[in-house]
Chain A
Amino acid sequence: MAEALLTLAGVNTHIGHYHILQGVDLAVPRGELTMLLGRNGAGKTTTLRTIMGLWRASAGEIRFESVDLAKRDTPAIADLGIAYVPESMGIFAGLTVQENLTLAARKGPLDAARLEWIFRFFPALKKFWFLPAGLLSGGQKQMLSISRAIVEPRKLVLVDEPTKGLAPSIINNLIEAFSELKKTDTTILMVEQNFHAARSLGDSVVVMDSGRIVHSGRMADLAADEALQTRLLGLSLEVHQ
């Protein structure tokens, strides 16, 4: 396994009176796509949001390369080359596709070659370039949300349930896009409920339950072990897809 780009050690997160993350220990290998699986309410989204600084860790260490993220605010975390695709997609509905991507390009003007690379997977974005993002379909909004995260090279991309509510053809499109992104050595930590997508994309896998990590390993091993799936996730992933 590659060295860890991101490590979480004993991370606790409280939201109001609720103790959501209860000592999360997690390592995300550099250049790999790590799948974060678990039942609803296990703490997957909270983990991503805590890494991004959108919720503050009440205890523990979040180390990205040599930097402790727990001491930084969200913009400073993004400045390190970490992008976030939230479950809600977080697109700016009143801004056009072009404006959404322009804002995401922090280093300067949009790079034409990078855009063409993105348009290969998501041609709809080129077609609807000047359309307000609020008028896009659900799948197109997800494409835009992902494109914003990768419009510039990033070291780490956090993606929360990208296939949620999307048609199978669009899911295949997203799988293809993430497969291509993996070839660029971008490290990805993805929360996913769709097993087809999880199995197709995941190199390593981490399973959460009740705010803790209950399993870490290779995705291929979990995919091949139905008993382990049932024990960790409560049901077979084949059935769960």
Chain B
Amino acid sequence: MSAPAAQSDALPQSRIDFVPVLLVVAIALGAFALIGSPSTWVTLTVAGLAMGLLIFIMASGLTLVFGLMDVMNFAHGLFIAIGAYVAVSVMKVFSAAAGADSLAANLGAIAPALLAAIVAAGLLGLFFERVIIRPVYGQHLKQILITTGGMIVAEQLIHVLWGADQLTLLRPPTLRGSFLIGDIALEKFRLASVVIGLATFVGLVLLLNRTKIGLLIRAGVENKEMVEAMGYRIRRLFVAVFVVGAALAGLGGALWGMYQESVTVLIGAQMMVLIFIVIIIGGLGSVGGCFVGALLVGLVANYVGYLSPKIALGSNILLMVVILLWRPQGLYPMSKQ
């Protein structure tokens, strides 16, 4: 089908709201003024972007699950933990390649570890949706109770399978250390995290805006009933989104484990606070909002941690409060019917 005829100059154009993006830039510039040292600022900024993008990978699925399915899944951290633990196990299997001083060999260990994390978390998500979530669709209180309970049970199962001790998830040699540009140190793994996070964001944006499935997801976030009345089976879409969200959390968990070089059963639960802050800041159901929110959280955590470590713990809560006072529905609120 060809698009309709050319449009007149007087047409109202769709306006993209750049103010939240400018806020990210403003915070970065403000931090530059406060920090003073360009090299420290660049290092902190890259660290903040890496942290933010890793949080985005973990949070993007949850925001769609919230927006599209109206499901409060407090067990999302479970998928993060499973991704991290599976990555530990696979990296052990490929320990020789993981320890070799060769990029190709290292990738030969990391790629199957990340892939296994994605698949394991996705399959667990499929099981979780069918067994735990499906009976409580539309019942928020029960969702909170049953997903929290499911998380506790699953954490104990992780103890059974992997033990209660902290496990190490060492980065391969080629991803350790930093690139030095003058007196600026750019950690290799953080740069890799930025690349993977940006690729995930671009992939999601293309999926949501360039495919019919993406249109359905966006439409479903706004008005599920109308999507069904148009003949689409939204339940299948629910399951697919849940599984993809879980798989992304698994990928994020594996990367976060490598970022910290250690894994405990609480890795997911600890991240959930930041993830909830990000999806609330961004606007429930908005992937773009989740992206900007994650960048804000990552940058603020790193800048404040350097400038005033004593208030670092509360900085993201403060950020959320300020943003919700400014935009009570989040940075990019989704219209819901």
Select which of B4, B8, B215 is within 8 A of A95 by beta carbon: B215
Summarize B's interface: helix, strand, loop or mixed: loop
The answer to whether B14 and A75 have CB atoms under 8 Å apart is no
Compute how far the CA of A128 lies from the CA of B219 in the bound complex, rounded to whole angstroms: 19
A interface bracket (residues with beta carbon within 8 Å of B): 35 or more
Given A95-B219, A102-B212, CB of A127 within 8 Å of CB of B1 = no
Give A93 to B333 CA distance when docked, in angstroms: 12
Contact call A112/B2, Cβ cutoff below 8 A: yes
Which residues from chain B contact A127 at a C-beta distance below 8 Å? 7-8, 11
Interface string of B207-226 (1 = CB under 8 A from A): 00000100110110111011
Which residues in chain A, 97-139, are within 8 Å of chain B measured between CB atoms?
98-99, 102-104, 106, 109-112, 115, 119, 126-132, 134-135
Instruction: Check A74 for interface membership: any CB of B closer than 8 A.
Output: yes
CB-defined contacts of B219 to chain A, threshold 8 Å: 92, 95, 103
In the assembled complex, the Cα of A148 lies from the Cα of B223 at a distance in Å of 15
Cβ contacts under 8 Å, B218 to chain A: 92, 94-95
A-B pair count, CB < 8 Å, reads 88
Q: Among the interface residues A93, A98, A109, which one has the most CB atoms of the partner chain B within 10 A?
A: A93
Residue in chain A with minimal CB distance to B2: A112
Complex CA–CA separation, A148 to B5 (angstroms) = 20
CB contacts (< 8 Å) of B227 on chain A: these are: 103
**Are B337 and A90 in contact, with the CB atoms below 8 A?**
yes
Please give, as numbers and ranges, the residues of chain B lying within 8 Å of A135 by CB-CB distance. Answer: 12, 14
**Which of A22-30, A38-46, A78-86 lies at the interface?**
A78-86
Question: Would you list which residues of chain A between 156 and 213 have a CB under 8 Å from chain B?
Answer: none
B223 contact from A92, A110, A111, A126, Cβ within 8 A: A92
Per the bound structure, the CA–CA distance linking A128 and B8 in Å amounts to 10
Question: Taking the nearest CB of chain B, how far is it from the CB of A74, in angstroms?
Answer: 4
Binds A, one of B106-114, B151-159, B228-236: B228-236
A42-85: CB near B (< 8 Å → 1, else 0) gives: 00000000001010000000000000000001110011000110
B206 to chain A, nearest CB (A): 15
Q: Chain A's nearest CB lies how many Å from the CB of B1?
A: 4
Q: Is residue A88 contacting chain B, with contact meaning CB distance below 8 A?
A: yes
**A128 contacts which chain B residues (CB < 8 A)?**
11-12
Distance in Å: Cβ of A54 to nearest Cβ of chain B: 6
Interface contact A88-B12, CB-CB below 8 Å: no
Count of chain B residues near A, Cβ 8 A: 31
Task: Tell me, yes or no, whether A96 is within 8 Å of chain B by CB.
Answer: yes
Contact B223 A90 (CB under 8 A): yes
B238 to chain A, nearest CB (A): 13
User: Is A96 within 8 A of B14, CB to CB?
Assistant: yes
Task: Report if A98-B3 is in contact (Cβ < 8 Å); known contacts: A90-B223, A92-B222, A131-B12.
Answer: yes
Please, which residues of chain B bring their CB within 8 A of the CB of A119?
Answer: 4
CA distance A119 to B230 in the complex (A): 21
A94 pairs with B226, CB closer than 8 A: no
A106 near B2: Cβ-Cβ < 8 Å: no
Which residue in A90, A106, A148 is a CB contact (below 8 Å) of B225? Answer: A90
The residue in A94, A106, A132 that gathers the most chain B C-beta atoms within 10 A of its C-beta is A94
B12: chain A residues within 8 A (beta carbon): 128, 131, 135
Check: B105 CB closer than 8 A to any chain A CB: no
B7 touches A104 (CB 8 A): no
Measured between beta carbons, the chain A residues less than 8 angstroms from B11 are 127-128, 131
- For A75, the chain B residues whose CB sits under 8 A away are 228, 231-233
Interface residue? B308 (CB, 8 A): no
Contacts of B37 in A (CB 8 A): none
Measured between beta carbons, the chain A residues less than 8 angstroms from B2 are: 112
Chain A residues close to B by CB (< 8 Å):
52, 54, 73-75, 78-79, 83-84, 86, 88, 90, 92-96, 98-99, 102-104, 106, 109-112, 115, 119, 126-132, 134-135, 148
Q: Which 8 A-B pairs have the closest CB atoms?
A: A78-B231, A90-B226, A110-B1, A74-B228, A126-B4, A93-B335, A92-B219, A84-B229
Other 19 A-B pairs with CB < 8 A, given A54-B228, A111-B1, A131-B12: A74-B228, A75-B232, A78-B230, A83-B230, A90-B225, A90-B337, A92-B219, A94-B334, A103-B216, A103-B219, A103-B227, A103-B232, A112-B2, A115-B4, A127-B8, A129-B3, A129-B7, A131-B13, A135-B12
A-B contact pairs, 20 of them (CB 8 A): A54-B228, A75-B232, A75-B233, A83-B229, A83-B230, A92-B223, A92-B226, A94-B218, A94-B222, A95-B218, A103-B232, A110-B1, A111-B1, A119-B4, A127-B11, A130-B14, A131-B11, A131-B13, A134-B335, A135-B12
